[in-house]
Amino acid sequence: MLDNTFVVVWEGVDGSGKTTLMRQTASRLASLGHTVETYKTPSQTPTGVFAKEYGNRPSTDPLTRMLLFLANTADDSSVLKRIAFEKSPDYIFIDRYYICSLVYGFALVSKRFGNPLDKQAFLQFFRLVEKIGSEVFVKPDLIVLVEVDSETRRRRAFQKEAGSDQVFERDDELQALVQQYYGFLEGELGDTFVRVLNEDSMLETVAKNLANKISAMKGW
C-alpha cells in the first residue's frame, strides 16, 4: 500500500468499459463509507499532453509512442504519491498505468512490423521496467483487467467520442494483440491480478462484487 492507501490499477482494451466500471466500483465503495481518489493516464500534465498529441499520430513509430506514454506514467507517479500523502484516501484508483504503455507498445510492434507475439521478451522487458522504476512507480496492490467480448468492445469503441487515439481504438487486430499481451501478465502477477468480464447488463453486479473483493483485500 501507498502509506495506508490501497492502490488499484484498472487496465483493459479500448471499449472494455474499464473507466465506467472503475467509477461504478468507486461509487459503491464510497456508499460504504470509504474514500476513493481516481486518476487517469495519460494525464493533463506536460508529459501527458505531449504523449497524446505526438504519440497518437499514426506516423509515430511504436517504440517512440511506448516511451512517451511510459514517461508520462512515470512522471505522474509523483502526483499519485502526493495525492496519497495530502488526502490519505482509503483507495486510489488509477485508470491505466505503466502496464498499459508496455502492452500497447509491444502490440503495436507486433502489428506494424509483423513480429510474432513474444511472451518471454515482453515479460523480460516488464521485469526490467519494474526494477528500474521501483523507486519511481507506485506499486499496485491490485490490477483489474477488464475484459469484454469482441463485438461489444467494437460497438463501444465506435460509440465513444472521437479522440486522437481513435485509429487505435477501432483497430480490431491491434486490440486483439493488446488483449493477448495483457494475458501474459496473469501468471507473472499472481494474486495481485484479477480478470473481470464487463457485460452491459452486469455492470452493477460486477462493480458490487469488485467493491467487496477490494474492501476485503484491504482488511475492512
Distance CA 208, CA 219 (A): 17
In the predicted model, is pLDDT for residue 165 greater than 80? no
Instruction: Enter the pTM of the model.
Output: 0.92
Which range is least confidently modeled, 68-82, 85-99, 200-214? 200-214
For residue 114, the tally of other CB atoms under 10 A from its CB is 7
161 sits in which H/E element: none
CA nearest to 14, candidates 132, 141, 182 = 182
Binding residues for ATP: 12-19
Q: Are 21 and 203 in contact (CB under 8 A)?
A: yes
Domains, the chain: 6-218 (3.40.50.300)
Label residue 168 by pLDDT band (50, 70, 90).
confident
State the pLDDT at residue 166.
74
Binding residues: 12-19
CA nearest to 194, candidates 204, 203, 186 = 186
State the pLDDT at residue 85.
94
pLDDT, one tens digit per residue, over 10-41 is: 999 988 889 999 999 999 999 999 999 999 99
